[in-house]
Amino acid sequence: MALVSLGDMAQSFMLRSHNARLKADLLRQSQELSTGRVQDVGRRVGGDFSQLAGLERSLARIDAFSLATREATVLTEAMQGALGSISDQATSLAPNLLTAAQAGQPSHVDAIGADARGRFETALSRLNTRVGDRSLFAGTTTNAPAVADGETILGALVTATAGATTADDVAQAVSDWFDDPAGFATIGYLGGTQSLSPLSIGEGERVSIGTRADDPELRGTLKALATAALLDEGILSGDTAARAALASRAGEDLLAAQGDWSALQARLGVAQERISSAEIRNAAESSALQIARSDLLAIDPYDTATALQATQTQLETLYSITARLTRLNLTDYL
């Protein structure tokens, strides 16, 4: 029987080759055990990446929808907060206007006029609310204020009501100015004429949050607030009865506008509900897809730990053999 032996260089190469292979296996198994996923994805899927690519594509799509729903949630909450603030201002002002009108005292009418002006300017400020440097009520012109300041609008209204001599004349002139394309739409409203495009919040689902400061539901309240604010501009000066009648007319208009205002807030609330539902569905779908991807790429912790221990034992044995061979001399060999 022929004896086949290895030369010193061949033996050294063989030991180094085994050492490199065992170290690579040890590193791979350690990473797989720590991450819970296979390192060689191609081997796991048998070279067919179509299923994995489909899962990754679906997860990327869900991530985009999730980003859109988070953005829509922030925007609608800010819009609802602004609208709620304006509604509170109008609701609390209306009875005060009616009370001042019934009292018929010039000082009361003057005081309520100053209060109305402050509330009108506050309402305009709320309509100019920005989130992330994005104007909420300016339509597609998101980089500009939605409405002009109170001084500009009231100045235009003073001019528009210059010939009015009764409370009804003033109220009608204010209403006409807000409805005139050359009035509020040109001087008061600074936003775009187009609403924001609906946001995609899910597969085949879009939601519109394009409320603008020139919407009819908002203009009704702005008309009444501006009418009351004109009392602070000295409208119908010297005619206490007419000024009291104007305060009463503004209070009645504010109360009448509450229906439209509630409908506007309700419409926005429906959009918020749809966004919240879509957010929940997207989260559930994302979890399901992640579980499916994990099942496709996951390792068996017990098998991997066993293989890792076996590789460590082999590597330690190889080190022992290598050490023994390097100490081998002729006397030991003989």
Residue listed under structure tokens 């296979």: 38
Of 13-17, 71-75, 172-176, 204-208, where does mean pLDDT reach its minimum?
13-17
Q: What structural domains does the chain harbor?
A: 52-289 (1.20.1330.10)
* Predicted pLDDT of residue 169: 94
Q: How confident is the model at residue 50 (pLDDT cuts 50, 70, 90)?
A: confident
Q: How confident is the model at residue 7 (pLDDT cuts 50, 70, 90)?
A: low
Q: How confident is the model at residue 148 (pLDDT cuts 50, 70, 90)?
A: very high
* Predicted pLDDT of residue 30: 66
Of 252, 10, 225, 202, the residue nearest 118 (C-alpha): 225
Counting residues of the chain whose pLDDT is more than 90, the rounded percentage is 40
Statement: residue 154 has pLDDT above 90: yes
Span 211-232, average pLDDT: 92
Statement: residue 12 has pLDDT above 60: yes
* Predicted pLDDT of residue 37: 64
What digits encode the pLDDT tens for the residues 247-293?
999 999 999 988 887 888 888 889 999 999 999 898 888 888 877 77
Of 34-38, 102-106, 268-272, where does mean pLDDT reach its minimum?
34-38
* Predicted pLDDT of residue 81: 92
Given phi > 0 = left and psi -120 to 50 = alpha, else beta, which region is 204? left
Given phi > 0 = left and psi -120 to 50 = alpha, else beta, which region is 134? beta
* Predicted pLDDT of residue 9: 62
Specify the higher pLDDT residue, 182 or 330: 182
Q: How confident is the model at residue 1 (pLDDT cuts 50, 70, 90)?
A: very low
| The CA-based dihedral angle spanning residues 319, 325, 327, 333, taken in that order and rounded to the nearest 10 degrees | 150
Phi, psi of 289 (to 5 degrees): -65, -40
Strand extents, DSSP E, the chain: 199-202, 205-207
